[in-house]
Structure 1
Amino acid sequence: MPFAIALAVVGIELSPLHFLYTGPMLTATPALAAVTMGPKGTLSAAAFALAVSVTTATYNQAWGSQMVYTNFLAVFVVSVAAVMGSGAVRTLREKELHQVRRIAVAAQEVLLRPVPPRLGPVRAASMYLAAETGAQIGGDLYEAVQTRYGVRMIVGDVRGKGLPAVRAAAAVLGAFRESVHYEDDLVEVINHCAAALRREDAMPGAVDQDVLLEGFVTALVAQVPDTHEVQLVNRGHPPPLVLRQGTVQALMPTSPFPPLGLEDLIIGPPGKADSYPFAPGDRLLLHTDGVIEARNRDNDFFPLPEAMEALHTRTPHEFLEQLHQGLIRHTDGRLADDVAMVLIDRLAEEAGEQVGAGDASSSDRRH
């Protein structure tokens, strides 16, 4: 807009309409630039306005007129003020942006904290990648907690975007973190999450109604007890993948159930958790659909099972980091959806006892 105004002044001054007084229009040019551009853009607009003022005055042979000098002085004064003001505004915006980012990081640490590297009989690692540029958190969720019933985990994906999705994720995670410690039935744990989502839904103004119409949450809850098995309750979520002796297998649910928030679609009695072998040396990956639905330029999906098999010797942290790099390469750095992953390795009892003793010794030394 500032440069368009200056060009309009040039057109008027070089035409038979040059008798019109265009000084106020040129004066507005640097002022408008200060609102929409940074210091460099404002300086460019101011220099252009001054150049137009000199050019038109010379072309019309108007030098010596008091109006020309007044107009030139006004443009100069406003230009200096605009350049100084744009710098101050930019500094203020940078401070505000820094503060917002600090708040976002703090929110992420509360909502999506990294899982501990050691949880009972398993080693663990987690990763979250937000698809939106500059975002720290989004609609995907995860958690892993050690309880008296074993290690319990959740991975979920909220249908929707923005703050409503974050609020729904917070409601589900809050219910999970509370119920995992006193509900012995894994189905009841996920039922608490569904109830929390309904309460969030019912709160006036808590979540945008347009999002609620499609704002269900796919979720997968897992439990690794002391026995060599893993128990799963899947509510419309992509099945987890187990890596056993270099081969990947999907753990499909025996009785599919709809996502959280769509309980009206459930017909018949509530189901029960599915059990699958999970022996020492096995590796389990819980993930959201942002991983398996990531596409490249040829519209090919990310080959997650093949990528897992190629990384079977890596530690959990290295494994997820390599998957991250593979996703970035596959999509050329353009993730279309958020990504959440939780990885666990089942340890042998002897290794678990040694690590546990080491942790206790370290704890004694710290205290």
Structure 2
Amino acid sequence: MKCVPFLIALAVLVIELTPAHFIYTGPLLTAVPALAAVTMGTKGTTVAAALTLAISVTTATYNDAWGTLQVYTNFLALALVSVAGFVASSAVQARRQREQARRQRELDQVRRIAVAAQEVVLRPVPARLGPVLAGSLCLAAGTGARVGGDLYEAVQTRYGVRMIVGDVRGKGLSAIRAVAVALGAFREAVHYEDELAEVMNRCAAALRREVAVPGAFEQEVLLEGFVTALIAQVPDEPVVQLINRGHPPPLLLNQGRATPLMPASPLPPLGLEDLTTDLPGKPESYPYAPGDRLLLYTDGVIEARNRDGEFFAVPETMEGIRADTTPPEFLEQLHQALIRHTEGDLADDVAMILADRH
């Protein structure tokens, strides 16, 4: 549509500079700034008006028509249509700008509400939890009001230190609601359930109950709703016990080398239990000795890309950070490396817990 005014101007120029100039082109030429005002805004209208003026001068000179009533009538018509088009285009543009500003204010308000709700639900983990020194980090992606559903928590219990990291499928307030449900179930179950698998089952059951309530979640979450989750337990023994439900594996930094703790049998996320009948009864154990570092994170970390499409190298970055840093310092350096890699453009929310075994 934007090229139509210029095609008309070209057609008028061809007619006026060929033997077909006996055709009266005044109405065609006045349509150029009028159409530009509708489709191209104030700048396009100005360009179209200047173009039609240049064509009128050129054709009047070429056809030796100066001094005729037709030429001056065409100039007057072009001037009136151009001014009217510019005024109308300015009014439309101003109205669009006001509408965009209103929508941006509404979007900013929704995002502030969502971020505030997220900050209430997620809280920094304690710096000391029994045999573990810990730190946490949560970063929101720059995606308008689409606040993500990353979750984390670390609690000291009579069974040891229990931690969870998860990611709700979906965005916005409904995802934060799912985060609150999962974390509420976790925070209660960790103190009463002997078995780590039962803690995970309590979280899954809470999400199923919430989805079953009419209107509990937005349609997006009802259709796509599931939660990847990883629960870790650090007992008195030099091991870490894990149950992984479709979540990225944690990284264990031991003697300067970062190794992913891959599950022996992949399991579906919470909410997709129907995909398997073989859910675990016992967690998987991995060596976790004093001096080791354990990083639990969401997929926003490993899926972060740079402008060339390369993923963020988390293990290599961990190995390059000095061993004498505290968990908050370690996470801050990891954060800065992530920001440098993505040039500050995070496509997804990020949540991390670092646990040092002492």
* TM-score for the superposition, normalised by structure 1: 0.72
SS across alignment from 2:165: strand
Post-superposition offset of 1:253: 3.6
User: Counterparts of 1:73-222 in structure 2 under 5 Å?
Assistant: 73-111=80-118, 113=122, 115-116=124-125, 118=127, 120-121=129-130, 122-128=133-139, 130=141, 134=144, 137-138=147-148, 141-146=150-155, 148-149=157-158, 151-158=161-168, 167-168=174-175, 170-183=177-190, 184-185=192-193, 186-199=196-209, 202=212, 203=214, 206-208=218-220, 212=224, 216-222=226-232
Q: Which position in structure 1 is the counterpart of 2:319?
A: 309
What do residues 52-75 of structure 1 show as CA deviations (whole Å, max 9, x unaligned)? Answer: 33234332554321x642442232
What do residues 94-147 of structure 1 show as CA deviations (whole Å, max 9, x unaligned)? Answer: 3431441342143134236452463534331213353x7556623x51221436
Post-superposition offset of 1:231: 3.6
What do residues 279-332 of structure 1 show as CA deviations (whole Å, max 9, x unaligned)? Answer: 554322112344345566887654322321221333333323332343455567
Q: Which position in structure 1 is the counterpart of 2:298?
A: 288
User: Counterparts of 1:24-35 in structure 2 under 5 Å?
Assistant: 24-34=31-41
Q: 1:10 to 1:25 in 2, by over 3 A?
A: closer
Identity %: 42
Q: Which position in structure 1 is the counterpart of 2:9?
A: 10
SS across alignment from 2:8: helix
**Could you tell me whether the CA contact under 8 Å between 2:32 and 2:48 is conserved in 1?**
no
Q: CA RMSD in A?
A: 3.7
Match of 2:79 among 72, 77, 87: 72
What do residues 136-171 of structure 1 show as CA deviations (whole Å, max 9, x unaligned)? Answer: 623x51221436556543222345x555xx735641
Separation in 2, partners of 1:231, 1:273: 6
**Could you tell me whether the CA contact under 8 Å between 1:200 and 1:207 is conserved in 2?**
no
**Could you tell me whether the CA contact under 8 Å between 1:141 and 1:173 is conserved in 2?**
no
* TM-score for the superposition, normalised by structure 2: 0.74
Where in structure 2 are there 5+ consecutive unaligned residues? Answer: none
Separation in 1, partners of 2:45, 2:39: 10
Paired residue type of 1:124: G
User: Counterparts of 1:219-298 in structure 2 under 5 Å?
Assistant: 219-224=229-234, 230-253=240-263, 256-268=266-278, 270-276=280-286, 278=288, 280-294=290-304
| Greater C-alpha radius of gyration | 2
Q: 1:5 to 1:124 in 2, by over 3 A?
A: same
Paired residue type of 2:33: L
Q: Which position in structure 2 is the counterpart of 1:363?
A: none
**Could you tell me whether the CA contact under 8 Å between 1:142 and 1:153 is conserved in 2?**
no
Post-superposition offset of 1:182: 4.2
SS across alignment from 2:71: coil
Q: 1:307 to 1:5 in 2, by over 3 A?
A: same
**Could you tell me whether the CA contact under 8 Å between 1:143 and 1:173 is conserved in 2?**
no
Q: Which position in structure 2 is the counterpart of 1:39?
A: none
